[in-house]
Amino acid sequence: MLYLILIVGLITAYINGMHDGGTIVATTITSRIMTPRKAIVISGLANLVGALFLGTTVALTVSQGMVDTPKILAGGQLDACLFVIASFVGSIVWNILTWITKMPSSASHSMLGAMVGCAIIGYGSSTVGWNVFMIKVVLAMVISPIIGFVAGYLFFMLQNKVLSNATMVWDKRVRALDIITSILLSISHGSNDAQKVIGLLAIGLAACSGQGISIPFWLIAISGLALSIGTMTGGYNMIGSIGKDIVKIDIDKAFASQLSSIFVVELANITGLPISSTQVITGSVMGVGTEDTPRSVNWGITKKIVTAWIFTIPASAVTGAVIFKLLTLVIV
C-alpha cells in the first residue's frame, strides 16, 4: 500500500509542476527575457532546490493541522491509506481539468480541498482542523493574491520612479535582475508546493509504518524531484494565461511582478501558510498592469480566473469525497 501511496503522491507532485510550473516563469518568457525551454528547465531545477533546502513548516501544517491525523490513523491502516490515496486522486482529477482548460487555478489547493472532503465523508466534519483550514488556507487564499496585487502595484510604481531617468545600461541590469528574481521565485514555489504533497505523504507513511508523523529526507527529495520534472516537461500550458491574457508583460512589469510574488510566497513559507503561488503571481500581474493603467488589464479573463479559484476547494472536496466513498465501498 505504501508504494501505491508514493506513486499517486508523486503523480500529484508531477501534475502540480506541470500545472503551475509555467505560471512561475510566464512573465519572464512573454517579456522575452529567456526562451521558453530555457526558462522552464531553470525553473524546474530551482523548484528542486527550494523543495530540498527551504524547510518543512508548510508540510507540518498539512500533516498535523489540516485534519485530526491521530483520529484518521486510529481508524485503521487501510482506511487511512484510502484517505491519502483519495485525497491525491481528487486533486489529480481537478488539476487535469483546469490544465486542459488553461485555467491557472491552484494545483496545491485542490489537494487541500480533497483532503477536507475525504475527512468529512470518512470521519466526520470534526476531523477537519477548521481553525487551521479557515485561517491558513481559506483566509490566506483570499488575502495572498490581494497582497500580491498591492505589492505588484507599489513595486512597479517605485520602480518607474527610480528608473524614470535611467539610461540604456539599466535595461541590461533590469534584465539580469529579472532572471535572478525568476529563479528565486521558482525556488520559493518549489518549497511551498512540494511541501503540501510531502505533508499528505507523511500521513500515508505514518499509516503504513504504524508510527507517528515524520518527514524523512528521501520523502522530500522524491517529491521535489517529481515537481521539478513536471515543471520541465509540461509547464507550458499556463504561460499565455498569465503572461499575455491578463496584461501584456514587458521586462519592467516582469521584474516588479516577480519581486512582489517572492515577497509574499517567502512570507508564507516562513509562517507555514500553504498558499497558492499561482494566485499570488496572478495578483501581482494584475497589480503591475493596474499601475500602468487599469484599462490594460483584461478584467474578463481575470473574472474567469477568480471563479476558478473560488470553485477549486469545494469542487476538489466533492471529488475527493466521492472517490473516497467509492474506494471504501469497493475495497473495505
DSSP line for 155-210: HHHHHHHHTTT--HHHHHHHHHHHHHHHHHHHHHHHHHHHHHHHHHHHHHHHHHHT
Nearest to 201 by CA among 325, 42, 91: 91
Residue 328 has pLDDT above 80, yes or no: yes
Which range (115-119, 132-136, 231-235) has the least confidence?
231-235
At 133 the pLDDT is 84
Whether the CB-CB separation of 174 and 35 falls below 8 Å is answered with no
Whether the CB-CB separation of 107 and 278 falls below 8 Å is answered with yes
* pTM attached to this predicted model: 0.83
Q: Cα(200)–Cα(76) distance, rounded to whole angstroms?
A: 17
Type and span of the H or E element at 33: none
At 219 the pLDDT is 93
Query: Beta partners for 128?
Result: 67
At 180 the pLDDT is 82
Query: Beta partners for 67?
Result: 128
Under the banding of pLDDT at 50, 70 and 90, the label for residue 8 is very high
Nearest to 125 by CA among 319, 313, 317: 317
At 169 the pLDDT is 58
Q: How far is CA 87 from CA 237, 274, 319, in A?
A: 24, 16, 9
Q: In the chain, which ranges are continuous DSSP H helix?
A: 2-30, 36-53, 57-64, 69-74, 77-100, 107-123, 130-132, 140-162, 168-209, 217-234, 239-240, 251-271, 277-292, 299-331
Under the banding of pLDDT at 50, 70 and 90, the label for residue 239 is low
At 105 the pLDDT is 67
Per-residue pLDDT tens digits for 42-60:
888 988 998 898 878 888 8
At 324 the pLDDT is 92
| Length, in residues, of the chain | 332
At 164 the pLDDT is 67
At 226 the pLDDT is 93
Q: How far is CA 257 from CA 1, 263, 283, in A?
A: 43, 10, 9
- For the chain, the average pLDDT equals 81
Whether the CB-CB separation of 81 and 207 falls below 8 Å is answered with yes
What value does the mean pLDDT take over residues 217-240?
A: 82
Is the sign of the CA dihedral 244, 248, 249, 250 positive or negative? positive
Burial of 248: CB neighbours in 10 Å, binned 0-12, 13-18, 19+:
middle
Fill in the amino acid letter for 288: V
Place of cell 480566473: 305
What value does the mean pLDDT take over residues 296-313?
A: 74
Residue 241 has pLDDT above 60, yes or no: no
At 322 the pLDDT is 92
Q: Cα(200)–Cα(213) distance, rounded to whole angstroms?
A: 10
* Residue boundaries of the structural domains of the chain: 2-331
Which range (90-94, 193-197, 198-202, 271-275) has the least confidence?
271-275
Type and span of the H or E element at 211: none
End-to-end CA distance of the chain: 14
Residue 136 has pLDDT above 60, yes or no: yes
Per-residue pLDDT tens digits for 143-196:
888 888 888 888 888 877 776 665 555 667 777 777 888 888 888 878 888 888
Under the banding of pLDDT at 50, 70 and 90, the label for residue 300 is low
Task: Identify which has the larger pLDDT, 261 or 226.
Answer: 226
Per-residue pLDDT tens digits for 86-124:
999 998 888 888 777 766 667 778 888 999 999 999 899
Residue 323's contacts (CB-CB under 8 Å, 6 or more residues apart) are 86, 89, 90, 93, 114, 118
At 82 the pLDDT is 92
Whether the CB-CB separation of 182 and 25 falls below 8 Å is answered with yes
What value does the mean pLDDT take over residues 209-217?
A: 86
